[in-house]
């Protein structure tokens, strides 16, 4: 099974995200966006807005300073 | 469903760090924890924390960590390594810690060629105390104590401490990298891996300078502060390999 056939799922651990926006800035496919709701710490966390566009490059997990993003493949 | 980015076992899960949004410390912490896991060094790892923003790093790492007095990280690291050479000793320091108050310790531990690793986080300000001018601040950079910009007439020039220690024969490996982009983060990981390998082989002092964003004190958004590193900071602090004497030292030892 090649990488193209895989489906990737991005999950943001809402309460760990501080809403710095680095993942949003570095995601080439614009998968992530800012959530309208606040989290437990009072930040607007990132959330997947175009989850189907994810290609599993893991750039967001590399730049996230708080390890708040999890990428799954199936 | 398979998780692609596994959590490093030496990084505590479910702890929210105290760092500001977009701070580079979190990225470097993750890299250190990942490398200790990859290189199987976590059991003998001994991290010396600085005074500065990373002062609470012991809350996030799941291996032995000691707190040092301001600037004395490499002095404590020297003592630990000499007392127990089996330890894998890392000194994690910021720019105010390593290049301002700790200049003497840094210079002399490097000159003695102690077999330790130094991870030097350079964000060009004193982060923890509220963004005062550091020796590493850029010319014209506006900080809390230089609101009109750093002037060379009054405040002198940015201090290139990694370039200074790279000229010492005792320093085996010195590299400058930045965590302002995914590519830079990959390079950072490779540089820190080389530095760790230097100590594992017992070849001497290794230092990795990491240019790291401080959005809060630079008064920028995290994305803009990464851009500022790529555009302004790299002009003064050019990323790249500063010295690599590993081959020579391997031959000497052989």
- Residue B16: inside a domain, yes or no? no
**Nearest CB to A20; choose among B1, B21, B186:** B21
Most A CBs within 10 A among B5, B13, B15, hence the mutation to make, goes to B5
CA distance B110 to B168: 7
CA distance A34 to chain B (A): 14
Report if pTM > 0.80. Answer: yes
**B8 lies in a domain?**
no
Identify the CA nearest to B53 among candidates B22, B13, B109, B97: B97
- Are the Cβ atoms of B1 and A72 closer than 8 angstroms? yes
Distance of CA A10 to the CA centre of its chain: 5
Is the minimum CB–CB distance between A16 and chain B shorter than 8 Å? Answer: yes
Least CB–CB distance from B21: residue in A19, A58, A74: A19
Q: Where are the domains of chain A?
A: 3-73
Element (H, E) at B154: helix B152-155
State the pairing for strand pair B171-178/B125-126.
Answer: unpaired
CATH number at residue B160: 3.40.50.970
Q: Does A15 touch chain B (CB under 8 A)?
A: yes
- How far, in Å, CA of B59 to CA of B54, rounded? 10
Q: Does B58 touch chain A (CB under 8 A)?
A: no
Enclosing domain of residue B176? 25-253
Question: How many independent structural domains does chain B possess?
Answer: 1
Q: Does domain A3-73 have CATH number 3.40.50.150?
A: no
What does each of the 254 residues of chain B score in pLDDT, given as a tens digit? 888 888 999 999 888 999 999 999 999 999 999 999 999 999 999 999 999 999 999 999 999 999 999 999 999 999 999 999 999 999 999 999 999 999 999 999 999 999 999 999 999 999 999 999 999 999 999 999 999 999 999 999 999 999 999 999 999 999 999 999 999 999 999 999 999 999 999 999 999 999 999 999 999 999 999 999 999 999 999 999 999 999 999 999 88
Q: Please write the tens of the pLDDT for every residue from A34-72.
A: 999 999 999 999 999 999 999 999 999 999 999 999 999
This model of the complex carries an ipTM of 0.92
Decide if B17 is inside a domain. no
User: Is residue B8 within 8 Å of residue B30, measured between CB atoms?
Assistant: yes
CB-closest option in B17, B185, B215 to A63: B185
DSSP secondary structure of A7-47? -EEEEE-GGG-----HHHHH-TT--EEE-SS--TTS---EE
């Amino acid at each position: 099974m090649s990488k193209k056939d895989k489906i990737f799922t991005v999950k943001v651990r809402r309460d760990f995200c501080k809403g710095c926006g680095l993942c949003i800035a570095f995601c080439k496919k614009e998968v992530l966006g800012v959530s309208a709701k606040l989290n437990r710490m009072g930040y607007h966390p990132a959330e997947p807005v175009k989850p189907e566009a994810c290609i599993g490059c893991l750039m967001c997990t590399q730049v996230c300073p708080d390890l708040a993003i999890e990428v799954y493949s199936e | 469903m398979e998780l692609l980015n596994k959590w490093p076992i030496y990084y505590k899960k479910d702890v929210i760090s105290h760092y500001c949004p977009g701070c580079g410390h979190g990225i470097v912490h993750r890299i250190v924890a990942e490398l200790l896991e990859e290189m199987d060094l976590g059991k003998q790892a001994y991290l010396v924390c600085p005074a500065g923003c990373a002062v609470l790093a012991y809350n996030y790492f799941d291996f032995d960590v000691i707190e040092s007095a301001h600037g004395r990280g490499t002095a404590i690291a020297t003592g630990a390594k000499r007392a127990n050479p089996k330890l894998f000793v890392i000194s994690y320091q910021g720019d105010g810690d390593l290049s301002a108050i700790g200049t003497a310790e840094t210079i002399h531990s490097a000159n003695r060629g102690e077999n330790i690793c130094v991870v030097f986080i350079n964000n060009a300000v004193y982060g923890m105390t509220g963004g005062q001018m550091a020796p590493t601040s850029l010319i014209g950079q506006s900080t809390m104590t230089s609101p009109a910009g750093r002037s060379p007439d009054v405040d002198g020039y940015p201090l290139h401490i990694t370039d200074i220690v790279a000229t010492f024969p005792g320093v085996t490996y010195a590299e400058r990298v930045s965590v302002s982009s995914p590519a830079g983060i990959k390079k950072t990981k490779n540089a820190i891996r080389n530095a760790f390998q230097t100590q594992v082989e017992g070849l001497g002092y290794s230092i990795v300078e990491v240019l790291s964003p401080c959005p809060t004190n630079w008064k920028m958004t995290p994305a803009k502060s990464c851009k500022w590193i790529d555009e302004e900071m790299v002009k003064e602090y050019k990323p790249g390999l500063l010295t690599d004497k590993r081959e020579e030292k391997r031959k000497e030892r052989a």
